Amino acid sequence: MLIGRKKALYTLENAGCSKKVIQHCQTVERISLTIAKRILSRGHKLDIHLVSGGALLHDIGRASTHGVWHGVEGGKILRRLGLRMFAKFAEHHLGAGIPKNEAIKLGLPARDFIPKTLEEKIVTYADKLAMRNRKISYGRALELLRSDLGPKHPAIERFKKLHEEIQNLSGGGPAET
């Protein structure tokens, strides 16, 4: 079952997310929908309601931690609430996805945390373009990732690839502005 925007926002609040986190999730949803509509308009298939719910709920784990575990925690919360179709949005959105070898180094469960579906990829990408309540450019997002993780971190290349994939599908435009 999908989820309406009102119910998703209520779910975040009820889980204990701060106003700041909820506003961020709304920003990620706005950016995600812009990208998703652009991709749809070019004849590709995706589930826009899934994108909306996934974007709104991706950071629900921040109700219990802001650390690297917030994705895993978010997945747990969503499964417990009967919203398992959104769990992978929470689990796979950190960085540009985290492969198993890096997950192990971070102390996360030993598996891949990589966005696999187009819907998950859009939300993961949009999350990197959401700086608090506003949208930043891809260039700025890349710069921030570089300064956060170091210029040689493999996440940089993954983010570049994700950007290219989204740009190819959407024909550029909103993802850049």
Residues that bind Fe ion (CB under 5 A): 59
The minimum distance between CB 149 and Fe ion, in angstroms, equals: 15
Q: Which of 38/83 has CB closer to Fe ion? A: 83
In the complex, the smallest distance separating the C-beta of residue 159 from Fe ion, rounded to whole angstroms, is 14
As measured in angstroms, the least distance from the Cβ of 6 to Fe ion is 22
Q: Let me know how long the chain is.
A: 177
Cβ 131 to Fe ion shortest distance, Å: 13
Helix, strand or coil for residue 43? Answer: coil
What whole-number distance in Å separates Cα of residue 170 and Cα of residue 176?
11
C-alpha–C-alpha distance, residues 141 and 156, integer Å: 10
Closer to Fe ion at the Cβ: 42 or 131?
Answer: 131
Nearer to Fe ion, 44 or 131 (CB): 131
Q: How far apart are CA 97 and CA 93, in angstroms?
A: 6
| Cα distances (angstroms) measured from residue 116 to each of 17, 88, 91, 93 | 26, 9, 11, 10
The span from the CA of 73 to the CA of 66, in Å, is: 10
Our CB check for Fe ion shows the closer of 59 and 91 to be 59
